[in-house]
Chains A and B, each alone.
Chain A
Amino acid sequence: MFVGKKKQGTVEIPTTSLPDIVFLLLIFFLVTSTIDTEKGLDLVLPEPNVSELKMAKSNIANILVNAAGQVQIDGQLVEVMEITNLIKDRLQNNPLLVASVKTDKNTQYEVYINVLDRLKKAWGDRPTRISIAEPEEN
């Protein structure tokens, strides 16, 4: 056979399927990657075996949450909605205020988180001073 044209010197790899591969990879990652749910409320627990730090009672706001989800600040029953504003007011008078939170065995976790959330809101951007009280041994 008489070959009309010169043989091609370079050999080309057919790249027509590359976009397909790219899209497949992309779709795989789009489908499998999940949004990070590692978000939450930070807290630092008090150290163990530390005998109660001597603090003036006036610097502590005792917050009790009972099993029914009712909240008491220093003996006074308050609505959950009011917590932020009440603590904010007390903070203005006393910036060294520490909120001590104590819960009952049967308090709903959801209520506890809600109280914690509102307490954090009271401090805003400033470092929060929240302490978790030791549960009663009964």
Chain B
Amino acid sequence: MKFAKKSKVAASIPTASMPDIIFLLLLFFMVTTVFKMYPGLHVRLPDAELVKKIPGSKRHVVSIWIDKNKQVVCDDFKVDKISNLRTLLYEKRQKDPQILVALKVDKESTMGLVSSVQEEMRKAYTLKINYNALRGIY
């Protein structure tokens, strides 16, 4: 058999499926990323050994920041008077009974303010707390 023309051997990887891969990756990230809703305060979290992830959905989490300058921020609201916290938390609890409060307290804070915040939480009946901490040994 005579070959009319030279057969060109072009080794090219078929890239027809690339868009599919990109879209899959994109969809994956779109579904899994959770954007940080609130900037919060800058706090240095304490260390604890038995830190555990918040079980279940993160949608029920309300964050309260307490920094070393005794400022208190709840989600996107700056709390000037601690006694306002009780109504704020109560309203949040009305919207979502499964509320869980993530307390992000600076390691150098004193318990006075933390206890007041906890008392407000008790009055608002938001009893589930998670003290945010970094994994480590104090």
Q: Which residues of A contact B (CB under 8 A)?
A: 15-16, 18-19, 21-22, 25-26, 29, 33-34, 36-48, 103-110, 112-114, 116-117, 120-121, 132, 134-135
Contacts and interface: CB of A to CB of B under 8 A. Distances in A.
Interface in B44-72: 45-54, 58, 61
Interface residues of B, number: 52
A109 B107 contact: yes
Contacts of B129: 42-45
Contacts, number: 144
B108 interface: yes
Nearest to A135: B115
B118 A45 contact: yes
Contacts of A29: 29, 33
A14 to B, nearest CB: 10
B129 to A, nearest CB: 5
B137 to A, nearest CB: 9
B31 to A, nearest CB: 12
A80 B95 CA distance: 41
